[in-house]
Amino acid sequence: MHLDEHSDTPFYRQLEAQLREGIESGTYPTGSRLPSIRGLAADLGCARNTVEQAYHLLVQEGYVASRPGSGYVVQNVAYLQPDASAPSCAVLLGGSRRKARYDFTYGNLEPGTFPATA
């Protein structure tokens, strides 16, 4: 792993992206343990908080689980990957790109368009 000091992306985001990519590609298989926070921080020459933040993001996204006393363990992420055989939204909508009945886009709600009485 490598952290680019000249990138605008914070170190913890760079590390999180590299670990996520490693998990998705199988470099870190399901059930394997990630390197310890202290060990990885020492290897990368960064603060422990940086590694801890990256691991915390991976926990939030469901890629790893924190096991007290055991560190961080890679979870089965097959359900997180888009399935090519799964029906797309276009198929669910009858193959057409129909317009939604109500537009709930943030900032686009016009008075009178939401059926508040219903």
- Per-residue pLDDT band at 10 (split at 50, 70, 90): very high
Residue 12: CA count within 13 A, CB half-sphere: 13
Which residues have C-beta within 8 Å of that of residue 3, sequence separation ≥ 6?
11, 14, 15, 44, 46
| 18 in any annotated domain | yes
Using the structure block, give the residue that is written with the tokens 């590609």.
25
Higher-confidence residue of 49 and 84: namely: 49
- pLDDT digits over 51-93, tens only? 999 999 999 999 999 988 889 999 988 766 555 555 555 544 4
Higher-confidence residue of 30 and 85: namely: 30
pLDDT above 80: residue 6: yes
| 90 in any annotated domain | no
| 28 in any annotated domain | yes
| 49 in any annotated domain | yes
- pLDDT digits over 51-60, tens only? 999 999 999 9
| 105 in any annotated domain | no
| 70 in any annotated domain | yes
Please tell me the predicted confidence (pLDDT) of residue 69: 84
In percent, the amount of the chain with pLDDT more than 90 equals: 47
Domain housing 24 = 11-79
CATH number of the domain bearing residue 70: 1.10.10.10
What is the separation of C-alpha 42 from the centre of its chain, rounded to a whole number of angstroms? 25
| 29 in any annotated domain | yes
The dihedral through the CA atoms of 38, 42, 43, 48 has a sign that is: positive
| 113 in any annotated domain | no
Q: How many domains does the chain have?
A: 1
Please tell me the predicted confidence (pLDDT) of residue 102: 61
Binning the chain into helix, strand and coil, the percentages to the nearest 5 are 35, 10, 55
